[in-house]
């Protein structure tokens, strides 16, 4: 009898502990599922001074690159002999946005947007560590002038996954002493564009870059080293901090709005009440989201992958180097414990949801969750990217409507979001996936460079029209 009592007692304690842990994980960023059949996605409203934009990045659209870490990477082979880029694609001429930007600005006008986020190609502006290509700078000045003349606010990203090959050869962001080169580039660009550009992004998705380049080996330099991943992630935060301070100290720098872009992907357990799935999702989240959000909130960086890395660094100035947080949101991931840690850490599409053409699902509720989460930084928020790869164009309309509904709902609930940039204006070069993914509001025929507005993109045009006509909030 006594043994049975003890047994029951232990069982109850274990069950309570189990539940407590699961509830703790859940409470960090509660899972949300909306019943879309009961939602009117046109019931939306946005602030009066709202940035409606599209986003691109230099390497993905401009064409004409050389001496760049990605042009080098495109010509390498993986350890198994396979090409580094899907279908052995090369970036090449891409969308020829370098030459066709006047046309593309017209296309922006046709969408009704009032903002454009693009990046400046470091390898074109500084072909060697000590030289500046003034023609390249003039090109970006022309782009800005043309945008402004068309009533479109430019937002500049300084580092969007690519840099000059010479910087990679110096060790890139693996070495703290190399940050000075990035700061120098930022100063050069700021000097050329500072009077034209108010919104600045220092670094796009530092975690995606560090992880893809140094953990997964899918981006150049193709390394798979957890220690280096942590070091690069840390150095990118230091680089952000240094560039923020550099720009602020330059003429009119004080008035600039400078931020970093964080991709927030929710890491959800595959089985909601499975403790091991929860644990795996917790560690994935810790190293993809929480470590960075915490660093910007508290000034303490801690990268911890049990058995692989444990890196801590105090960065007391970091929290004061953010005028806004740029949020990229695409989807959530699911994690399932399989008995093998490495295998369990592979992100899965969340079960039971419709797929995009990428290896993740459509989950617009996650945009609301991501906004709620980054709002903990107490900074204003700009959605710097959100979009869908949909080559058949049979999900884009619904995706945009639902995402913009989630955005409106978050704003209505009091979250301070200043703008939304759709990814992307055009189909483009999707890094290691080459030209296989179709993210564009405009479809691009890469043979002729002809751009065609997709049917599904009309959801964006309609919503901006709706906002212009009647659904403006007072604040």
> Among 289, 330, 304, which Cα is nearest to 424's?
330
Q: How far is the CB of 24 from ligand NOJ (least distance, A)?
A: 30
Of 57 and 305, nearer to ligand NOJ (C-beta) is 57
> Would you give the binding string for ligand NOJ spanning residues 445-474, x where CB under 6 A is met?
------------------------------
The Cα 210–Cα 217 span in angstroms is 10
Centroid of chain to Cα 74: 22
Binding to ligand NOJ (CB under 6 A) within 323-342 occurs at 328
Pick from 52, 423, 442, 467 the residue near ligand NOJ by CB under 6 A. 423
Binding to ligand NOJ (CB under 6 A) within 49-78 occurs at 57, 60
Of 208 and 309, nearer to ligand NOJ (C-beta) is 208
> Would you give the binding string for ligand NOJ spanning residues 234-253, x where CB under 6 A is met?
--------------------
Pick from 232, 371, 430, 442 the residue near ligand NOJ by CB under 6 A. 430
Q: How far is the CB of 299 from ligand NOJ (least distance, A)?
A: 26
Q: How far is the CB of 385 from ligand NOJ (least distance, A)?
A: 5
Q: How far is the CB of 247 from ligand NOJ (least distance, A)?
A: 21
Q: How far is the CB of 61 from ligand NOJ (least distance, A)?
A: 10
Please give the size of the binding site for ligand NOJ, defined by CB under 6 A.
Answer: 9
Residues 6+ apart with CB under 8 A from 446: 93, 95, 427, 435
Residues 6+ apart with CB under 8 A from 340: none
Helix boundaries (H) for 89-178? 97-111, 122-125, 134-149, 165-169
Of 285 and 430, nearer to ligand NOJ (C-beta) is 430
431: helix, coil or strand?
helix
Of 280 and 407, nearer to ligand NOJ (C-beta) is 407
Binding to ligand NOJ (CB under 6 A) within 163-222 occurs at 204-205
The Cα 436–Cα 452 span in angstroms is 17
Q: How far is the CB of 13 from ligand NOJ (least distance, A)?
A: 45
Pick from 62, 385, 390, 427 the residue near ligand NOJ by CB under 6 A. 385
The Cα 365–Cα 402 span in angstroms is 8
463: helix, coil or strand?
helix
Q: What are phi and psi of 366, to 5 degrees?
A: -65, -25
Q: How far is CA 315 from CA 14, 172, 292, 310, in A?
A: 39, 21, 11, 16
Q: How far is the CB of 30 from ligand NOJ (least distance, A)?
A: 25
The Cα 343–Cα 358 span in angstroms is 20
Q: How far is the CB of 468 from ligand NOJ (least distance, A)?
A: 27
The Cα 457–Cα 113 span in angstroms is 13
Task: List residues binding ligand NOJ (CB under 6 A).
Answer: 57, 60, 204-205, 328, 385, 423, 430, 439
């Amino acid at each position: 009898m006594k043994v049975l009592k003890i047994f029951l007692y232990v069982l109850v304690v274990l069950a309570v502990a189990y539940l407590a842990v699961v509830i703790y994980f859940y409470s960090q960023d509660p899972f949300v599922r909306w019943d879309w059949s009961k939602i009117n996605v046109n019931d939306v409203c946005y602030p009066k001074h709202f940035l409606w934009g599209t986003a691109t990045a230099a390497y993905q659209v401009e064409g004409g690159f050389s001496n760049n870490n990605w042009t080098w990477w495109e010509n390498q082979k993986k350890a198994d002999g396979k090409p580094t880029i899907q279908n052995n694609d090369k970036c090449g001429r891409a969308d020829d946005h370098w030459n066709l930007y006047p046309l593309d600005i017209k296309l922006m006008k046709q969408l009704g947007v009032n903002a454009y986020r693009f990046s400046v190609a470091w390898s074109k502006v500084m072909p060697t560590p000590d030289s500046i290509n003034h023609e390249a700078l003039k090109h970006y000045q022309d782009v800005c002038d043309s945008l402004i003349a068309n009533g479109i606010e430019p937002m500049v990203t300084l580092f969007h996954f690519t840099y000059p090959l010479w910087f990679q050869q110096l060790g890139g962001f693996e070495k703290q002493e190399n940050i000075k080169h990035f700061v120098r580039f930022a100063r050069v660009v700021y000097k050329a564009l500072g009077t034209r550009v108010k919104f600045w992004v220092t670094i796009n998705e530092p975690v995606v870059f560090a992880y893809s380049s140094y953990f997964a080996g899918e981006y150049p330099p193709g390394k798979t080293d957890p220690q280096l991943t942590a070091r690069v992630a840390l150095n990118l935060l230091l680089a952000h901090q240094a560039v923020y301070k550099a720009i602020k100290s330059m003429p009119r720098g004080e008035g600039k709005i400078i931020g970093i872009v964080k991709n927030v992907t929710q890491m959800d357990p595959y089985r909601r009440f499975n403790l091991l799935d929860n644990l795996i999702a917790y560690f994935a989240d810790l190293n993809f989201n929480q470590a960075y959000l915490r660093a910007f909130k508290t000034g303490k960086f801690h990268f911890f992958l049990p058995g692989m890395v444990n890196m801590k660094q105090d960065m007391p100035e970091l929290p004061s180097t953010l005028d806004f947080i740029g949020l990229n949101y695409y989807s959530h991931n699911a994690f399932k414990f399989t008995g093998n840690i490495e295998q369990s850490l592979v992100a899965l599409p969340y079960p039971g949801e419709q797929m995009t053409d990428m290896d993740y699902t459509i989950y617009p509720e996650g945009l609301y969750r991501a906004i709620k989460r980054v709002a903990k930084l107490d900074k204003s928020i700009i959605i710097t990217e959100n979009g869908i790869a949909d080559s058949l164009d049979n999900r884009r309309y619904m995706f945009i409507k639902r995402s913009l509904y989630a955005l409106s709902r978050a704003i209505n609930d009091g979250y301070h979001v200043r703008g939304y940039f759709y990814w992307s204006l055009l189909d483009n070069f999707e890094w290691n996936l080459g030209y296989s993914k179709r993210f564009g509001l405009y479809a691009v025929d890469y043979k002729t460079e002809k751009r065609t507005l997709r049917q599904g993109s009309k959801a964006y045009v309609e919503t901006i029209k709706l906002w212009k006509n009647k659904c403006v909030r007072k604040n």
